[in-house]
Amino acid sequence: MTNDQKREVTYLESPGESDPWSENGDALHEDGKGKAYDLEERTAQFGEAVIRFVKKIPRSPGNDRLVGQLVGAATSIGANYCEADDGASKKDFRNKICICRKEARETKFFLRMVAAAEDTLKPEARVLWQEAKELHLIFASIWRKNKE
C-alpha cells in the first residue's frame, strides 16, 4: 500500500464514532516531501482499534487469556515506539525498535489465535492482522537501517 492510498478501516468505527484514519483524523501529515505516517499516532490508533475489537470477544477462560495477551502486545507496540523516539542513544533506540518489531509479530500471532477461537470475528481479525503485519515490516526496516 502506498502512502497516497486511502485506508479502508471500517473495523474502527462504532456508533457515533468517526474513523480516526479519515480525512479529518488521518495519521498522515505533510512533511514537505509528500505524506508520511506519524508512527506514534498510527501505533496508538492501532492499539485503540485492538481494544475496541476485544470488547466483542465473548468471555471464556481461553478467550480471556488471548485477550490479555493480544491487548498487551498490541498496545506495547506504541508504548515502545514512544520510548524509542525518546531514546538516549542509538543503541537504546535500536533496542526499543526491536521490541516494537517483536510485539507486532506477537500481535499477529494472537490475532490468528482469536480468529481460530471465534469464527465470527475472523474478518475483523484479518484487517487488524494486516495492520500488525505492516507495522512489523516498518519496524523491521527501521531496525535493519539502524544497525551499529
pLDDT in tens for each of the 148 residues of the chain?
Answer: 333 333 334 344 443 444 444 444 444 344 444 444 699 999 999 999 999 999 999 999 999 999 999 999 999 999 999 999 887 899 999 999 999 999 999 999 999 999 999 999 999 999 999 999 999 999 999 999 988 5
Any domain includes 18: yes
Cβ neighbors of 44 (< 8 A, separation 6 or more) are 78
User: Is 126 among the domain residues?
Assistant: yes
- List own/partner pairs for 78-85 with CB under 8 A and 24 or more apart: 78/40, 78/43, 78/44, 78/46, 78/47, 81/39, 81/40, 81/43, 81/139, 82/40, 85/40
119 part of a folded domain: yes
Within-domain flag for 4 = no
Distance CA 132, CA 77 (A): 9
Range of the domain at 68: 10-145
Distance of CA 16 to the CA centre of its chain: 23
Is residue 106 a part of any domain in this protein? yes
Identify whether 5 is part of a domain. no
Give phi and psi for 29, each to the nearest 5.
-145, 155
- Is residue 2 a part of any domain in this protein? no
* Total-model pTM: 0.76
| CATH code at position 75 | 1.20.1440.60
What would the grid cell of residue 12 be? Answer: 474502527
> How many folded domains does the chain comprise?
1
Q: Within a domain: residue 1? A: no
Q: 66: closest CA among 103, 104, 99, 106?
A: 106
19's CB contacts (< 8 A; 6+ apart) are 9, 10, 12, 13, 25
